[in-house]
């Protein structure tokens, strides 16, 4: 295949290129040197054996990034990030792994237990030595003995089934190699390299992520999830996901891991791009539970993510559902560009901030096509010293006649030290469009709490019950297996916020 030949040539030229820049001795190392410069970008591209066009694409992103400033407008505060004091390419951490579950932080295990995660999975998530590999020898705990959680084969068996339908589901690196034309056509078409500071950074140094292509008329027979893949391969801090649903196709995609990863990478700057053609629909669900930092706000993940979907085709639909309970700082606005006539965009979100967590999240709905419709339901919960901001934009262009938007933003405050903020922007330039927005802020009503306590529920359980009720509209949008875990997560996230 000419494409392949071209790829091989490109890889060779890139590899030779990097030698020229003095990486010959380090090319086999597990990580690139600290810092970020053009050489690092070249190094990553070479390490991933990418074609020349992608290297050029990354370099352009890097050049743009250098001219950009970190956004200061979100209602979050954190010490300045030193972008030169980080590794941009590193193999999975080679620190000393715990030998058994005995050595794992009991607090972490308690959380896993509450989530109902089987022991062997707990071991994998906690990074117990040998846990994720096929029969490990000589472990003291059962995890090491029967840890036959062969995620690779699980993924493969699904892959075969998907392949029968013509569905492509693989890592983005693999897609670059094997489906170069598709990647080249769509990568950056929704979130261009220079879109924003973090997207530019991601475009320059992304190391992993998923690629999905659903061919014409195919309804994906199962929920696709990064879950398996993450077990098979540790993802980097800069994920890049690209999902394309061709005409009449539909897919439901689940992102994230519902167990807290003790990720020491402070900065997560992912980019997700969705493209829906005529009559296609994409449902993208996220349960984000990265490490939120301790109760004093030490540690935790900075989750600076750009997610955007383009409803390019008529009657296409993109639906975002997110449950954000983790990360010390969340900066994320999954958006929809409703280009096709009669296309539909949805955003359902629950964001919880407890302790010192800060979240500035929301969505943007761009109505361009006629009769486009969008729905926004956002539930923010603040507890402890948490700060929670909904920030959203509904923009209706002059041509979007008959466009319709409904937005509902509710905030719940638990404790008098937290904050809840709502910043919606409505920009309408079309007479026949109709936009409705409503927002409320309140705390848990004393009478509701009293009623639950009277029936023997502990205060914490009562709050959990009420919060779940508050979030019901969003949780019901999640695929079932996710919804159950998300409910438990809400409760865990709010632990210690009452009483």
From 104-112, 202-210, 283-291, 435-443, span contacting another protein (CB under 8 A)? 435-443
Rounded least distance, CB 197 to another protein, Å: 17
Nearest to 81 by CA among 289, 306, 361, 329: 329
* 210-214 and 168-171 strand pairing: antiparallel
Which of helix, strand or coil describes residue 232?
helix
Query: Is 57:193 a contact under the CB 8 Å cutoff?
Result: yes
Residue 258 or 387 with smaller CB distance to another protein: 387
| H-only helix segments in 116-264 | 119-126, 142-145, 151-165, 172-178, 180-186, 197-205, 226-232
Distance CA(178)–CA(180), nearest Å, equals: 6
User: Using CB under 8 A as the criterion, what x/- string covers residues 17-46 for binding another protein?
Assistant: ------------------------------
- For another protein, give the closer residue by CB, 57 or 333: 333
Among 93, 99, 437, 472, binds another protein (CB under 8 A): 437
Per-residue interface string for the shown chain with another protein, residues 361-400, x marking contact by CB under 8 A: -------------------------------------x--
Q: 405 burial class (0-12, 13-18, 19+ CB within 10 angstroms)?
A: buried
| Closest of 256, 236, 371, 372 to residue 321, by C-alpha | 256
Interface with another protein (CB under 8 A), residue from 414, 467, 489, 494: 414
Task: Please tell me whether residue 436 binds another protein under the rule CB under 8 A.
Answer: yes
- Judged by CB under 8 A, which stretch of 118-126, 329-337, 347-355, 415-423 contacts another protein? 415-423
User: Angle at the Cα of 174 (from 194 to 231), degrees rounded to 5?
Assistant: 100
Q: How far apart are CB 344 and another protein at their closest, in Å?
A: 19
Query: Does 155 sit near another protein (CB under 8 A)?
Result: no
- Beta strand 240-245 with 267-268 is unpaired
Pick 60 or 421: Cβ nearer another protein: 421
Q: Map residue 181 onto helix, strand or coil.
A: helix
d(CA 169, CA 324): 25
We find the least distance from the C-beta atom of residue 367 to another protein, in angstroms, to be 12
**In angstroms, how far apart are the furthest CA atoms of the chain?**
74
Q: By CB under 8 A, tell whether 425 contacts another protein.
A: yes
Of the candidate residues 141, 426, 457, 465, the single one contacting another protein (CB under 8 A): 426
For 193, the 3-state DSSP assignment is: coil
- Of the pair 120, 395, the CB lying nearest another protein is at 395
Q: Structure tokens of 316?
A: 């296409």
429 binds another protein (CB under 8 A): yes
Q: What CA dihedral angle connects 294, 299, 300 and 302, to 10 degrees? A: 140
Would you say 205 or 400 has its CB closer to another protein?
400
Q: Residue from 85, 105, 427, 481 that binds another protein (CB under 8 A)?
A: 427
Q: Restricting to residues 214-233, name those near another protein by CB under 8 A.
A: none
Is 293 a binding residue for another protein by CB under 8 A? The answer is: no
Q: Please tell me whether residue 417 binds another protein under the rule CB under 8 A.
A: yes
Pairwise CA distance, residues 107 & 99, whole Å: 17
Q: Kindly state whether residue 194 participates in binding another protein, applying the rule CB under 8 A.
A: no
Q: Which of 430, 465, 492, 498 binds another protein (CB under 8 A)?
A: 430
The stretch among 169-177, 245-253, 342-350, 417-425 that binds another protein (CB under 8 A) is: 417-425
| Site of interaction with another protein (CB under 8 A) | 73, 398, 411, 413-443
């Amino acid at each position: 295949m000419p494409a392949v030949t071209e790829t091989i040539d490109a890889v060779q030229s890139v590899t030779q290129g990097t030698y020229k820049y003095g990486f010959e001795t380090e090319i086999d190392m597990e990580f690139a040197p600290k810092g970020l410069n053009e050489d690092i970008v070249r190094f990553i591209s070479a390490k991933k054996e990418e074609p020349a066009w992608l290297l050029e694409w990354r370099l352009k992103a890097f050049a743009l990034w250098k001219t950009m400033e970190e956004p200061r407008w979100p209602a979050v505060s954190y010490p300045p990030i030193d972008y030169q004091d980080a590794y941009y390419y590193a193999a999975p951490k080679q620190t000393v792994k715990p030998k058994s579950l005995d050595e794992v932080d009991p607090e972490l295990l308690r959380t896993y237990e509450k989530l109902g995660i089987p022991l062997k999975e707990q071991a994998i998530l906690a990074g117990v030595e040998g846990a994720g590999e096929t029969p490990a020898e000589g472990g003291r705990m059962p995890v090491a003995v029967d840890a036959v959680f062969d995620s690779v084969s699980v993924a493969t068996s699904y892959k075969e089934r998907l392949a029968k339908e013509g569905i492509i589901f693989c890592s983005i690196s693999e897609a670059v190699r094997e489906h170069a034309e598709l990647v080249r056509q769509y990568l950056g078409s929704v979130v261009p390299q220079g879109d924003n500071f973090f997207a530019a950074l991601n475009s320059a140094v992304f190391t992993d992520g998923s690629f999905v292509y659903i061919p014409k008329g195919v309804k994906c027979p199962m929920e696709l999830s990064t879950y398996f893949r993450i077990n098979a391969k540790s993802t980097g801090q800069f994920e890049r996901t690209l999902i394309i649903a061709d005409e009449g196709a539909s897919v439901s995609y689940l992102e994230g891991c519902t167990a807290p990863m003790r990720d020491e990478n402070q900065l997560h700057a992912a980019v997700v791009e969705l493209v829906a053609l005529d009559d296609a629909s994409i449902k993208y669900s996220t349960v984000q539970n990265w490490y939120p930092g301790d109760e004093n706000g030490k540690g935790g993940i900075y989750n600076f993510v750009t997610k955007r979907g383009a409803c390019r085709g008529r009657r296409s639909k993109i639906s975002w559902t997110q449950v954000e309970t983790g990360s010390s700082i969340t900066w994320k606005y999954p958006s929809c560009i409703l280009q096709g006539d009669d296309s539909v965009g949805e955003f359902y979100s629950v964001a919880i901030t407890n302790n010192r967590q800060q979240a500035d999240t929301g969505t943007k709905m761009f109505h361009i096509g006629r009769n486009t419709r969008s729905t926004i339901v956002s539930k923010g919960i603040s507890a402890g010293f948490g700060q929670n901001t909904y920030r959203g934009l509904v923009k209706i262009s002059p041509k979007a006649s008959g466009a319709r938007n409904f937005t509902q933003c509710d905030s719940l405050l638990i404790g008098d030290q937290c904050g809840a903020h709502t910043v919606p922007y409505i920009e309408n330039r079309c007479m026949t469009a109709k936009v409705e927005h409503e927002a409320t802020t309140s705390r848990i009503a004393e009478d509701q709490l009293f009623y639950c306590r009277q029936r023997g529920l502990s205060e914490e359980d009562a709050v959990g019950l009420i919060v779940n009720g508050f979030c019901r509209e969003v949780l019901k949008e999640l695929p079932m297996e996710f919804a159950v875990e998300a409910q438990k997560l809400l409760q865990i996230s709010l632990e210690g916020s009452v009483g």
